[in-house]
Amino acid sequence: MNSRLTEILVGLFMLLFLGAMLFLAMRVSNLTGLGSSGGYTLVAEFENVGGLKSGAPVSASGVRVGQVESIAYIPEDFAAKVTLKVEAEFVDAFPEDTTASIYTAGLLGEQYIGLEAGAEDIALIDGDEITLTQSAIVLERLIGQVLFSRSGAE
């Protein structure tokens, strides 16, 4: 009887462990927000998105307010069109002169979009475009510029 109870407890512990691992895997891969409904869509164009991927966080003042829905290349503009899905609770939170920048978080280099609100009275609505953008800083290009400037100075 005691052996049977131990086997049941171990089985329950393993189920709990597997559930926790699944939850963590979904959190790390940003899949927890896929089922959220509502919100609105904003569009921004960047010259270079670096390693930005669909599902990357969109934050304002360090608070997650949405995620990157899609990234597409626009051949006419030689730019990348990034579609952002902002959560419903942040409707009317961002004025027309909001700035979107691509930042790198942490040592692993996960990229995200940071929104900085402007001072306009008119808010962005569904489908609007954020015109003030700052592209990702590509580390390889930055290193190349430093090396090139040093070799030219000698």
How many other CB atoms sit within 10 Å of the CB of residue 110?
Answer: 16
The pLDDT score that the predictor gives to residue 76 is 94
Q: What is the pLDDT of residue 106?
A: 72
Q: Is the pLDDT of residue 81 over 80?
A: yes
Q: Which residue has the higher pLDDT, 128 or 142?
A: 128
- Rounded Cα distance between 146 and 2, Å, is 69
pLDDT of residue 11: 93
CA 56 to CA 70: how far, in whole Å?
10
Statement: residue 65 has pLDDT above 70: yes
Q: What is the pLDDT of residue 8?
A: 92
